[in-house]
């Protein structure tokens, strides 16, 4: 009991807000790191309509962002000045990531790469066709690499 009290009191001393580039207070839009602030930090031009989108992190070499107004997920491919719609929503992104993990496991167990790519595409496309609409989407490029044995 005493150790639990100590742990609890130590936990309450951790600052609730940590300063970081792009941090927005709740009055400014919810505490998310925005695409605009990330681009500004690196001295890059940000498409104006995407400045308030929330930065999610990277998928392979593409920076992912969520448009909080529509719920859509966009990708900013490395070396590109623009972005592409990648998923209709977060649920679709999560679904694709789960399916990707299954592909990785099966790939480690020597499954045929072309079969894995076909299965991934069919399964994800049945849930949301958006990830494959743009031929330059990170999903299409990654599946090509899988089929070519680059993984």
| Burial (CB count <10 Å: 0-12, 13-18, 19+), residue 40 | middle
Residues 41 and 70 in one domain: yes
pTM: 0.77
Mean pLDDT to the nearest integer, 34-49: 93
Give the helix ranges, DSSP H, for the chain: 2-12, 35-41, 90-108, 113-127, 138-147
Q: Note the pLDDT tens digit of each residue in 127-149.
A: 999 999 999 999 999 999 999 98
Number of domains the chain is built from: 2
Residues 66 and 128 in one domain: no
Last residue in a domain, options 64, 87, 110: 87
Residues 48 and 79 in one domain: yes
Q: From residue 42, how far is each of 21, 45, 89 by CA, in Å?
A: 11, 9, 27
Q: Would you state the pLDDT for residue 149?
A: 87
What does the alpha-carbon distance between residue 89 and residue 29 come to, in Å, rounded to a whole number? 19
Q: Note the pLDDT tens digit of each residue in 48-100.
A: 999 999 999 999 999 999 999 999 999 999 988 899 999 999 999 999 999 99
Residues 112 and 44 in one domain: no
Domain range for 128 is 91-147
């Amino acid at each position: 009991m005493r150790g639990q009290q100590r742990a609890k009191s130590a936990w309450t001393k951790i600052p609730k807000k940590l300063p970081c580039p792009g941090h927005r207070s709740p009055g400014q839009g919810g505490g998310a790191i925005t695409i605009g602030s990330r681009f500004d930090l690196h001295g890059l031009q940000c498409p104006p309509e995407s400045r308030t989108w929330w930065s999610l992190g990277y998928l392979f070499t593409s920076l992912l962002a969520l448009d909080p107004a529509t719920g859509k997920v966009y990708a900013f491919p490395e070396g590109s000045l623009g972005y592409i719609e990648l998923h209709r929503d977060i649920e679709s992104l999560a679904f694709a990531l789960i399916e990707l993990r299954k592909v990785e496991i099966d790939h480690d167990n020597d499954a045929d790469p072309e079969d894995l790519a076909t299965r991934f595409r069919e399964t994800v496309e049945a849930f949301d066709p958006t990830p494959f609409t743009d031929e330059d989407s990170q999903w299409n490029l990654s599946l090509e690499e899988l089929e070519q044995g680059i993984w």
